[in-house]
A and B are shown apart, each in its own frame.
Chain A
Amino acid sequence: MTRHDDTLGVILAGGSARRMQHREKALIELDGRPLLRHVQDRLAPQVSQVVISANGDPNRLAFSNSRVIADLRDDRPGPLAGMEAVMTAVDAPWYLFVPTDTPFLPRDLCTTLHHAAGDPATVAIAASGIHSHYAVGIWPRSALTAIQAALDAGSHALRDLLAEHPHRLGRFAISSTGIDPLFNINRPADLARADALLTPENRKVDRPMATLLYFAWIREKIGTASEQITLPDEVDTVAALMGFLRGRGDRYADALKGEQIRVAVNQVHAQPDDRIGNGDEIAIFPPVSGG
């Protein structure tokens, strides 16, 4: 699984499930966790950072520890308005958009779509079997103009925009266990099916992740305020975590040197040999002195 530092992961969490008493899809639980969390766990390791496109009170999504970005226009509900808002709020070369109801997103989603796009100006949309999944795709920053033009013209359907906008398809195979990686949940039966498809192995793979928060110049150097990662089993102490993070690249190595850096686990100051694990929130901060 490759992390694409040039691609922002975006969960389009706007929808509610008409066939499920209009419940908000992001919050519907599968295997005891909200669908948003399942999608986030699949997406986070593949992209620089995950943000959520959603309207209304952002506090209901606070459990995600991800930034929530609301639409800029309230008269055009739908994915295009969400895409416009995110591309306006966060500057990135690429945006990987996914809906919040696809808990089995491929772990090579970002890589495969980049290969399909081929060049830095082309949109690539995911496809499996005979279906194109318009809401799953990578979009270059240059596509923002076309999205704004479509919204200005009164259109809010992705399908209409893509009918005119050049794009390629990235194909994903149905797995040997019968899971369509782009399977999405629209009714109670889908939820039951998804639960059945969660093999013990799948459940284990989708275990909770550790949330990392970076503050002050550590945040500036790493380039993000928070991220979620699955810690390998051997990374089970604060000291091991710092070594693990420094090994993730120059930005991390540079940001995390210096003995004045402090670590808090679940909001309590921790010592190097204190235990950590997936599910913990780990804050890393330096002393600052400006006045």
Chain B
Amino acid sequence: MPRLTERSLQRYSRQILLKEVGGSGQQRLMDATVLVVGVGGLGSPAALYLAASGVGRLILADGDAVERSNLGRQVIHTTDSIGQNKVRSAARTIRALNPEIEIVPVERHVDRESLPALVERSDLVLDGSDAFSVRYLANAVCHQLGRPYVFGAVSGFEGQVGVSLSGVESGSPCYRCLFPSVPQPGEEHPTCAAAAVLGPLPGVIGTMQATEALKILLRIGTPLAGALMLFNALDGITRRIGFSADPGCSVCGAPVESNTPGGQAS
């Protein structure tokens, strides 16, 4: 395991000054592995901040290539990485930001076959995907393998963020306890493309996801477990909605045999 050098002490000094973090907390982050699913609008700021904060190993998974229309919000990618795989582009930016951490590139979308092995290698999963199918899949796999799951989503001027610890703490709810019915394609945003979004919105939500991830890895504060943070940027309204475990939940409810919900990664 890497030890804190003089240089890394300087790099993380403002964070180490926090009594909740300190040298031992920073060491804990350096020893941690986080899987970031999707390096798009949410994954970009989340991966940047996890890297800058000194999370020792980041597994980045995304099969998409950088497009010009991504650059208005996916701040980890640059104009000269258009056409390149997003993970490769992100790894380059992260290495420039913090060469002290390790990047494990997975240059394809996660699916039912590949996700469990990636989750197994991680201490925590941060979901920056943009599809319900991935969200429900990642929630289920994290529950089964006992990993904290940090989810986030944006649309238009609004965002949602929360944490599922159902696989870690018994009685703690999962994403599906709150949203049991998987929205069908087209049912999500009935008017226009769900793709319409104000540039900084994924930055706000992705950064909150990174914050939740660090809190959980450091075992400090109160994670947004069993809570959904709603953020309406247009009207400046924020609410923290509490929810509890659903005994009938198809993921974390009464024990059942194999129960991975279907779905293709986008």
Contacts and interface: CB of A to CB of B under 8 A. Distances in A.
A1 B197 CA distance: 38
List the 7 shortest-distance A-B pairs measured between CB atoms, nearest first. A291-B130, A269-B243, A225-B235, A288-B155, A264-B241, A290-B155, A287-B179
B40 A291 contact: yes
Interface stretch (B5-13, B90-98, B100-108, B184-192): B184-192
Interface of B: 38, 40-43, 128-132, 135, 152-156, 158-160, 178-179, 181, 183, 187-191, 194-195, 197, 202, 230, 232, 234-235, 237, 239-244
Given A225-B234, A260-B183, 17 more contacts: A219-B158, A220-B191, A221-B190, A221-B191, A254-B190, A262-B241, A264-B241, A264-B243, A268-B242, A269-B243, A286-B188, A287-B183, A288-B154, A290-B197, A290-B202, A291-B38, A291-B152
A215 interface: yes
A267 B242 contact: yes
Nearest to B177: A269
B241 A290 contact: no
A216 B156 contact: yes
Interface string A254-273: 10001110101001110000
A238 to B, nearest CB: 14
A164 to B, nearest CB: 36
Q: How large is the interface on A (under 10, 10 to 19, 20 to 34, 35 or more residues)?
A: 20 to 34
A253 to B, nearest CB: 13
Contacts of A177: none
A219 B232 CA distance: 10
Contacts of A268: 241-243
Contacts of B135: 289
Given A268-B241, A269-B244, A287 B153 contact: yes
A31 to B, nearest CB: 28
Contacts of B191: 217, 220-221
A172 interface: no
Q: What is the predominant secondary structure among interface residues of chain A facing chain B?
A: mixed
Contacts of B187: 258, 260
Nearest to B130: A291
Interface string A51-74: 000000000000000010000000
B179 A215 contact: no
A244 interface: no
A260 B179 contact: yes
Contacts of A289: 130-132, 135, 153, 155, 183, 188, 194
Contact of B178 (A220, A225, A269, A291): A269
A290 B237 contact: no
A226 B131 contact: no
